[in-house]
Structure 1
Amino acid sequence: MQMTEFNLNYPQNDGQQKQLTIRSGEILFMVGPNGTGKSTLMHAFTTQNTGRVRRITAHRQIWLNSDSVDLTPASRQQMETHITQKDRQEDSRWKDDYAHQRSQANIFDLIDSENVDARKIAEAARAGNMAYVEALAREQSPISKMNDILRISNLHFQVDVDKGSKLIAIREGCQPYSIAQLSDGERNALLIIANVLTAQENTLILLDEPERHLHRSIVSPLISTLLTYREGCAFVVSTHDITLPHDQEKCGALLLREYSHQPRHWSADHVENIEEMDEDIALAVLGSRRAILFVEGRSSSLDIQLYQILYPTKSIKPLGSCVDVERVVSGIRASEHNHWISAFGIIDRDNRTDEECERLQEYGIIPLEQYSVESLYYHPSIIRALLNRVATVNEIDIEATVAEITDSVVQAANEHKDRMAARMVERKVKDRAYRECPDWRSILGGDVEVAFSSAPILNEELRLMSDLIDRRDIEKLISRYPLRETPALELIARKSLFPSKEKYEQAVRKMLIDSNETLQMMRGIIQPATRLLS
């Protein structure tokens, strides 16, 4: 198969021209948030490859007037000329004067290609060339290919051409019906497939947002299957779904960071082969800024909001455990392919020594004292700052309120001491078991035994918690133990004149946004992270 190269060039923010190429059989995903110039760059790729490009735009029309097409070969060719001229114009990025005609052309091309195959077989039969007839019959027709792709893509309908040359939909247990009656997602898939299958060999196919109206369980196999049926074409796919590139084999990605309209240039990173990346790393990198902060746990939106306020220039990515954070951060930092990414991690300190913490920080991983980031909302300094803010509109004795809050936290911690200590030990035991779990090489090397007792760990934790309660050290109690599972946090909120802890936490976030002094105070509370991330 002849390999054709296509130009994918764009100006960079350093004034240099970035020159990329893509060949037949390859796929490049373009990923980036809104405003990074994806549509503009797709238009640039269109003009660079005029005459051998087919663009399927994001604002494509997916509704159909009917299942028949009122076109002749001559009018179809004339329409193609007009569409090509329109696609070269700048306003084609956001406006399509031929939206209806494009969908009609897709259906015409599909039916026409089916008819062309039938005519070839008939002509060969009339000429008595039965060997050629058999060879043509063995080749899949475009409609047959489309039905295979629909089936593989988890779309539960098929298509056919009726006696009146109309494209109809067929669903098990139903009478054939018009393709105009398909759902939005089904019509979107049908038009994408028709567009791709009817493109000329050695065409660059630019596909904008294939996920429109489609679940990812459909769009992912749809893209991979289309590529196998059109290995003679190259694909550039613009998407907001960062999981799509990782689902495909041997694909690259262009990660758009920033776009400037005047003068026009892009800041972007090119990943040549997504397949070489670990899945966690790939998914994090594809949807992130160049600086990524990985945090423990399945972080709630509450955690993520707070991290985003504290470190707005970093992408926040939650992972499962501290081991996952260490693995991913170390993997990114050790990879030559990911040299443009700055990866950091925040984990719980647990019982790590100062030496261990210093070693981790050398690798961009910051162990913190806090049980969870949620405890930062209830740090005594933050409580006092919020009370000062409340006092500007309400009569409140700040010192008396702080004393009441301290009493409430100490009482709640004491009443739930055994469970709080056990919850802390549970976390330690899980992390220890995870760390000591043998890998497959150790398992093949012989019997591996992992054993330790939880009783000494629990007794030590109970002694520590009792000491903190005796000293009324609510800062350590709140940061070390999951007091959200006790009445403590709700009591703090109510004594601060908020109806619930959710309203209290919302007020803290608003305070951080409004007050740079308080923002810097909270950054100081987790100083090791702030120092490394600044």
Structure 2
Amino acid sequence: MTFNLTLPNRTRTNQTETLTTDNNIVLIGANGSGKSRLGAWVEQTMQSRLTVHRISAQKALSIPDFAQLKNLEQAEKALLYGRDDQHASVGRKITDRWGSNPTTFLLNDFDKLLSLLFAKSAERDRLHTQQTKAVQSYVPVPDAPIDIIVRIWSDIMPHRQISFNDGKVLVRKEEEPEYHGKEMSDGERVTLYLIGQCLCAPDNSIIIIDEPEIHLHKSLVDKLWNKVEELSQSKLLVYITHDLDFASSRKDALKFWIKSYNGNNLWEWDEVPRDENLPDGLILEILGSRKNIIFCEGENGSLDTTIYQLVYPDYHIIPRGSGQKVIEATKALKGNHNIHHLNVFGLIDSDYKEEEEKQTLLQHGIFTISIAEIENLFCVEPVLRIIAEHLELNSEQKVNEVIDFLIQSLNAEFEVQVSSKAEKIVEYKLGAFSKEANNEQGLTAGLTTTLGRIDIPTIYAQTRTSFQNAIDARSLNELLLIYNRKSLTNRISGIFGLGNGQYDKLLVRLFKGSRKEELIHAMRQYLPQIN
């Protein structure tokens, strides 16, 4: 169904603009960007033309002992307008429903929702009885909202059963006694509340849901809103959220980034750009950043990501997993002209790369660290000395013992390391393949040219020499640049009298203590300066 949604002008003038859409909408922005205020503005602006039912983030979830039984007209007025008498109207909604403070008022209408749910069931039963008497034969019983809630509930919470009897909400867990709805958890109560509110909103209405993920476990959020959307085809759902995961989960929704609120009903906002090479969640994270971006290897919470955040405090660090993912994300973002307010860089491990490949990557803003992989950064000489001094050990002796260990380990797998680096060089040269003409001969000629650049004996000999030179020179820096073996920190723990895995843990403690700046300075010497 198509809706025309009125929004404030994105150029921050006092005009409005109309968005015509068949899709639901997500308004996403950081805390303090004016999202809730915008939701209230949309409600006030549009409610004279059609029903706009807003569910605020500030809501009480207390369930009464018994729902107050009302007729359908009274119950609908109470939920939509905040009162059920002859004075209930859209014009009084801001006072009666929102306490004259539509942005921050604590909405307390669970009792009204339950009254309407029971009223709809009662009205369904009345009409069905009337129809059955008229035809004097069986008439199928249509579902009331309560029946739909029970069905959805069993789908998303299969180990709990919900029932509505005699004005009460009752819940039963498997093989446990039944309990009253007021004893439900926050997650259970908000699930019932959100389903009920969306089902009770009239057809052809706009439903604005502020913080649709609050109180819900992440495993339930998608299931819940997928079900609600399935049952709300005749309604427009407008979600207001700061949760990147939720926003990216609404795959077919239009997404708008609320950048800021400037007072006097003026917002700065724009549509979230799409990029087939960048996941929606990543684009949203980038749009929400006020700092320039560095993509790096690793995962959120990993030690290497923590190090980069400390060394590059003026940048927003986004881990992308593998080095190839870093390269892809950096190139894709640099090529996306819709995201132009930030500079973006990549930072990857050296990982057997030759100087030619590093320089090529640098042209795309992708830097390589001066060691084989980030874990080796924890074994550079200044860091080894800090660890030794902290443990009151002879730092010179410990540095030499680490060098001896690296040489011994490298010699033990010398051919494996040499062949692995040579393999990477060959892969890089093969990656330079391009056809020389748009036909079979052009492809053949291109492959011949590419293979002609690959001299395996020379590559292997040069690689072998570089490894041997590092060993002969007893150069810790060169050894850490060429020796690509994870968990070096675990393997050298014993040199410092530490158990397996204790070296990393000690390093983390020192980063949180008095040697933090000393360690950052030590590591910064081995990381590129990014401007």
* TM-score category of the 2 structures, normalised to the smaller one: 0.7 to 0.9
Structure 1: any 5+ residue segments left out of the alignment?
Answer: 438-444, 446-451
Question: How much has 1:308 moved relative to structure 2?
Answer: 1.8
Partner of 1:62: 61
Change (3 A) 1:127 1:340: farther
| Alpha-carbon distance in structure 1 between the residues aligned to 2:177 and 2:295 | 53
Structure 1 residues 157-208: Cα deviation after superposition (integer angstroms, max 9, x where no partner)? 444443x243444666667653334333222111100000000122222223
| Alpha-carbon distance in structure 2 between the residues aligned to 1:508 and 1:165 | 59
| Alpha-carbon distance in structure 2 between the residues aligned to 1:479 and 1:266 | 50
Equivalent runs, 1:24-35 vs 2, <5 Å: 25-35=22-32
| Alpha-carbon distance in structure 1 between the residues aligned to 2:355 and 2:371 | 16
**Does residue 245 of structure 1 match 2:232?**
no
Question: How much has 1:413 moved relative to structure 2?
Answer: 0.9
Higher helix share: 1
Q: TM-score, normalised by structure 2?
A: 0.74
Letter in 2 for 1:485: L
Asked whether the 8 Å contact 2:293–2:344 carries over to 1, the reply is yes
Equivalent runs, 1:221-260 vs 2, <5 Å: 221-257=223-259, 259=260
Equivalent runs, 1:96-495 vs 2, <5 Å: 96=106, 98-99=107-108, 102-128=109-135, 137=140, 139-162=142-165, 164-169=166-171, 177-257=179-259, 259=260, 268-271=269-272, 277-278=276-277, 281-288=279-286, 289=289, 291-298=292-299, 300-335=301-336, 338=339, 342-380=343-381, 403-418=396-411, 422=416, 464-481=466-483, 482=485, 484-485=487-488, 490=493
Asked whether the 8 Å contact 1:111–1:167 carries over to 2, the reply is no
Letter in 2 for 1:327: E
Change (3 A) 1:152 1:434: farther
Secondary structure of 1:349 counterpart: coil
Secondary structure of 1:283 counterpart: helix
| Alpha-carbon distance in structure 2 between the residues aligned to 1:338 and 1:312 | 22
| Alpha-carbon distance in structure 1 between the residues aligned to 2:426 and 2:325 | 13
| Alpha-carbon distance in structure 1 between the residues aligned to 2:342 and 2:322 | 21
| Alpha-carbon distance in structure 2 between the residues aligned to 1:419 and 1:240 | 52
Question: How much has 1:114 moved relative to structure 2?
Answer: 1.9
Question: How many residues in Structure 1 have an aligned counterpart in Structure 2?
Answer: 491
Question: How much has 1:6 moved relative to structure 2?
Answer: 2.0
Secondary structure of 2:7 counterpart: strand
Structure 1 residues 223-255: Cα deviation after superposition (integer angstroms, max 9, x where no partner)? 122112112222222334423333333112233
Asked whether the 8 Å contact 1:375–1:478 carries over to 2, the reply is yes
Partner of 1:442: none
Secondary structure of 2:212 counterpart: coil
Question: How much has 1:344 moved relative to structure 2?
Answer: 2.9
Asked whether the 8 Å contact 2:346–2:365 carries over to 1, the reply is yes
Secondary structure of 1:243 counterpart: helix
Identity score, percent: 20
Secondary structure of 1:26 counterpart: coil
Asked whether the 8 Å contact 2:213–2:246 carries over to 1, the reply is no
Change (3 A) 1:492 1:74: same
Asked whether the 8 Å contact 1:293–1:314 carries over to 2, the reply is yes
| Alpha-carbon distance in structure 1 between the residues aligned to 2:210 and 2:422 | 47
Change (3 A) 1:484 1:214: same
Return 327-336 or 315-324, whichever deviates more.
327-336
| Alpha-carbon distance in structure 1 between the residues aligned to 2:397 and 2:512 | 23
Structure 2: any 5+ residue segments left out of the alignment?
Answer: 84-92, 432-439, 441-453
Letter in 2 for 1:210: P
Partner of 2:4: 5
Change (3 A) 1:352 1:417: closer
Question: How much has 1:107 moved relative to structure 2?
Answer: 1.2
Structure 1 residues 292-327: Cα deviation after superposition (integer angstroms, max 9, x where no partner)? 322224465322222222333433222232222223
Asked whether the 8 Å contact 2:299–2:305 carries over to 1, the reply is no
Return 500-509 or 471-480, whichever deviates more.
500-509
Letter in 2 for 1:188: V
Letter in 2 for 1:123: Q
Structure 1 residues 47-81: Cα deviation after superposition (integer angstroms, max 9, x where no partner)? 33345322222232234232533556547635653
Partner of 1:85: 94
| Alpha-carbon distance in structure 2 between the residues aligned to 1:5 and 1:118 | 35
